[in-house]
Amino acid sequence: MTKRIQLREMTEEEQRVLTRLSASRKAEAALVRRATMIVHYYAGASLRTIGQELHMDEDTVSRWVHRFVDAGLDGLRDEPRSGRPMIYTVEEVSLLLQTALTKPKDLGLPFGSWTLDRLQAYLHEEKGLKMKRSRIDEILLKEGLRWRKDEWWFGVRVDPDFAQKRGPLSNSTRGRRPRASSPVSIN
């Protein structure tokens, strides 16, 4: 049988954050799982029960409970991992951000908005900056810039000659048949 972990008194703020986080559908999944572990353990559940419920190893649950007891809410976050350091200079990242925030039309380009592929190609061909598409996305997200999907199905088209280039519409779908009149009157 596993020995119970010596718990410290949880603050009201920690209780509020953990309760909200454990029920969240928008927070990072790993944080939701970790918060759920802590809430259940403080409620009296065993490490084994929590592990079975969350499909995790008992040692993993124990590690996260210990980290919370030692470091509070900050203990639930991932620690930095080893790996290759970032290879782009501050100037290169600045060039990426400056370009991403500039309208393509202002740079003489034939399109109205950036995509990751367009941005990557422009930086490589025009600025000599070779950067992977995934790294561009990662840097932009870290800076709080988010891509939105093109809303091509409604609204103003980027290309004013779109209808002419598209050509005439086909009548491939039948029109609606008129509805039969109903003898029932709604008043």
Say yes or no: 69 and 93 in one domain.
no
Say yes or no: 67 and 121 in one domain.
no
Across 109-131, average pLDDT: 91
Residue 73 per-residue DSSP state = G
pLDDT for residue 78: 86
Across 70-88, average pLDDT: 84
Coil, helix or strand at residue 178: coil
Which range of residues forms the domain containing residue 138?
Answer: 84-146
pLDDT of residue 157 exceeding 60, the answer is no
Quote the number of domains for the chain: 2
Say yes or no: 69 and 88 in one domain.
no
Say yes or no: 25 and 57 in one domain.
yes
pLDDT of residue 11 exceeding 60, the answer is yes
pLDDT for residue 112: 86
- 151 part of a folded domain: no
Coil, helix or strand at residue 86: coil
Calculate the average pLDDT of the chain: 84
pLDDT for residue 142: 85
- 158 part of a folded domain: no
pLDDT for residue 85: 67
- 170 part of a folded domain: no
Choose one of 35, 53, 76: the last residue of a domain: 76
Q: What percent of the chain has pLDDT over 70?
A: 81
User: Could you read off the pLDDT of 15-48 as tens digits, one per residue?
Assistant: 999 999 999 998 889 999 999 999 999 999 999 9
- 64 part of a folded domain: yes
18 CB-contact burial (10 Å; exposed 0-12 / middle 13-18 / buried 19+): buried
Choose one of 56, 76, 96: the last residue of a domain: 76
User: Could you read off the pLDDT of 101-111 as tens digits, one per residue?
Assistant: 999 999 999 98
Residue 10 per-residue DSSP state = P
- 173 part of a folded domain: no
Cα dihedral sign, 96-97-98-102: positive
pLDDT of residue 147 exceeding 80, the answer is no
pLDDT for residue 6: 85
